[in-house]
Amino acid sequence: MSVDRTPRERVDVCVVGAGPAGSLLAHRLAEAGYAVVVLEAGPRFDPERRIEQMGDALRPTHGRPEIWEMGGARDAFTSSGDRHYPLNHARVKGVGGSTLHWQGMVMRLHERDFSVATREGVGADWPIDYDELRPYYAAAEDALGVAGASDNPFAPPRAESHPMPAFKPSHSDSIFAQACESLGIGTHSVPNARNSEPYDDRAACVGYGTCQPVCPSGAKYDATSHVAKAEEAGTRVIDRVPVQRLEHDAAGERVTAAVYATPEGETYRQRARQFVVAAGGVETPRLLLLSQSSQYPDGLANSSGLVGRYFTEHLFAGTGGRIEQATRQHHVGFNTTESHQFYDDPAAGTDEGIPSAGADADDLGAIKLEFHNYAGPAPVEAALADGGWGDGLRERVADAYGNHLAVGALIEQTPRRENYVGLDPARTDDHGNPVPEIHWGLDARTERTIRRANEIQEAILSELDAERTWQVGPENTGPASHHMGTTRMGSDPAASVVNGQGQSHDLSNLWLAGSSVFPTGGAMNPTLTIAALALRTAAHIQKQV
């Protein structure tokens, strides 16, 4: 069937990107009565295919990007800098964005995260504080549907209970809990954007265990939920229309149109009163850089020269092994227990067995400890990779499965100007545009933080008398695929791209939504903050329109 991808007349707000930020914002504005159009570069995926996608994900012959059709000229990129950046490993272009395959953990940033420069002398302070974002955090938890409990003594203050009760700790969590208690480490539940009971017309989680890269049951939140709500409220969502550039008026003060291409080779201009770019931490700065003009030769909204700069990630640190008891690995496909004890003060030790780091807290970034109940091979994965049959296969699967566990961690990366998303004119995509160049590396502070996390992890496994079988440290760490910081917010137009509401300093009707506006990233999974900021930006756009 042919799809009408022609532009709409009389549009109040044009949103670029149908991920969590774009869909939540579009829904709020449409619900308030505004005419909204959403332009999405990728396709609509059929939810009926998710069982098939799960089967593909379990087979060793299918790479993770392939499950969500990532790759090829459309998604080409260049990686430069000290470390290779695997951009396509964990992103999705399509209606729903990367929430189609995310892990689903949703934490609020701590109060210290909004003022790291003042407190610790690194990075940049946010132009807003936790209290300003706090009501939007609560609204975001209701919108996404978060299962959680108020049992985290290290979390920032909150007045509201979570919409759903927390998931019960996994079997391996109970093993970790004993070791952590002996070492003086406090543990607590993990807030998850997946249903522990029916919520918002979605069923409760049934435990497929393939949360990444696909939730077949739909119990885990993804942004298609708010895309559907936005469409019910009157929003028009057009898929497979990558925006090529933004155009502005003669004065260079307002965006006038988003120029987009269709699968049929047509090019159209969507005009609107307000424009929101919510295309993620890589494609958002890329679009602004592609939108250069005689008045903006360095790209749109880039008078500060910071569009694409301060590309920031979360790093993974982990230590795993085997113990002499059953861990029931992979019975749960997501984290149910964490510890934020070393978040605000990663250098602190405990009287029961964790030594202090021998460094000032300012010399280390935040650490979020995660207790992985999905360490080691899953039985289906082991069987499919083995390729054998019969009793021999059963014995090999039994030997590979059942007593693995691991302690992971998300590590804060110190923002640095030399980490950036730029354009590579030597390589073009399927529309002839320069592909994004990811220039990325680690600094000494981040490497020290990873080593500190490894020390704590080693102490926990030692307390369990575990045989350590692997470790991810500074030498072999990788990114968590949380793209942050490339269009940072701030009060000073010379040192930021947008203000505290997400509005461009340069063009009054251009707004940016998503993790690209984070001045710092802390060590918390970013999606809840993305959602909270999007709802806050929607409220400010309503005042403008």
Helix (H, G, I), strand (E, B) or coil at 120: helix
Which pLDDT score, from 0 to 100, does residue 210 have? 85
Angle 41-30-525 from CA coordinates, rounded to 5° = 60
pLDDT tens for 437-456 read: 999 999 999 999 999 999 99
Which pLDDT score, from 0 to 100, does residue 239 have? 98
Residue 270 near residue 261, CB atoms below 8 Å: no
**What mean pLDDT comes out for the span 481-502?**
98
**What residues contact 544, with CB distance under 8 A and at least 6 apart?**
274, 508, 509
**Is the bond into 213 cis (omega within 30 degrees of 0)?**
yes
Which pLDDT score, from 0 to 100, does residue 374 have? 87
Closest CA to 420 of 279, 218, 529, 281: 281
Helix (H), strand (E) at residue 230: helix 224-232
Task: In whole angstroms, give the CA distance from residue 354 to residue 367.
Answer: 14
pLDDT tens for 266-297 read: 999 999 999 999 999 999 999 999 999 999 99
pLDDT tens for 58-108 read: 887 778 888 999 999 999 999 998 899 999 998 999 999 999 999 999 999
Which pLDDT score, from 0 to 100, does residue 1 have? 55
Angstrom CA distances, 430 to 74, 90, 94, 161, stand at 5, 21, 16, 47
Which pLDDT score, from 0 to 100, does residue 101 have? 92
pLDDT tens for 222-257 read: 999 999 999 999 999 999 999 999 999 999 999 999
Which pLDDT score, from 0 to 100, does residue 266 have? 96
Sheet with strand 420-428: strands edge to edge: 78-80, 434-439, 420-428
Q: What b/e sequence results for 511-536 when a residue is b if at least 16 CB atoms lie within 10 Å of its CB, and e otherwise?
A: bbbbbbbbbbbbbbbbbbbbbbbbbb
CB atoms within 10 A of CB 399: 10
Which pLDDT score, from 0 to 100, does residue 391 have? 94
Residues of the chain with CATH 3.50.50.60: 10-76+93-146+213-313+486-545
Which pLDDT score, from 0 to 100, does residue 330 have? 86
Residue 386 pLDDT class (50, 70, 90 cuts):
confident
Look up tokens 């149109």; give the residue: 257
| DSSP secondary structure code for residue 97 in this structure | G
pLDDT at 361 over 70: no
Closest CA to 171 of 396, 340, 327: 327
Task: In whole angstroms, give the CA distance from residue 390 to residue 450.
Answer: 43
Angstrom CA distances, 235 to 7, 12, 35, 217, 458, stand at 13, 11, 7, 26, 51
pTM metric for this prediction = 0.97
Written out in words, the top-level CATH class of the domain with range 154-190+314-412+444-478 is alpha beta
- Pull the structure tokens for residue 87: 């951009």
Which pLDDT score, from 0 to 100, does residue 333 have? 86
pLDDT tens for 496-544 read: 999 999 999 999 999 999 999 999 999 999 999 999 999 999 999 999 8
CB atoms within 10 A of CB 69: 15
**Record: fold of 10-76+93-146+213-313+486-545:** FAD/NAD(P)-binding domain (3.50.50)
Closest CA to 167 of 192, 144, 186: 192
Residues of the chain with CATH 3.30.410: 154-190+314-412+444-478
First to last CA, the chain: 35
- Helix, strand, coil % in the chain, rounded to nearest 5: 30, 20, 50
> Burial of 402 by CB count in 10 Å (0-12 exposed, 13-18 middle, 19+ buried)?
middle
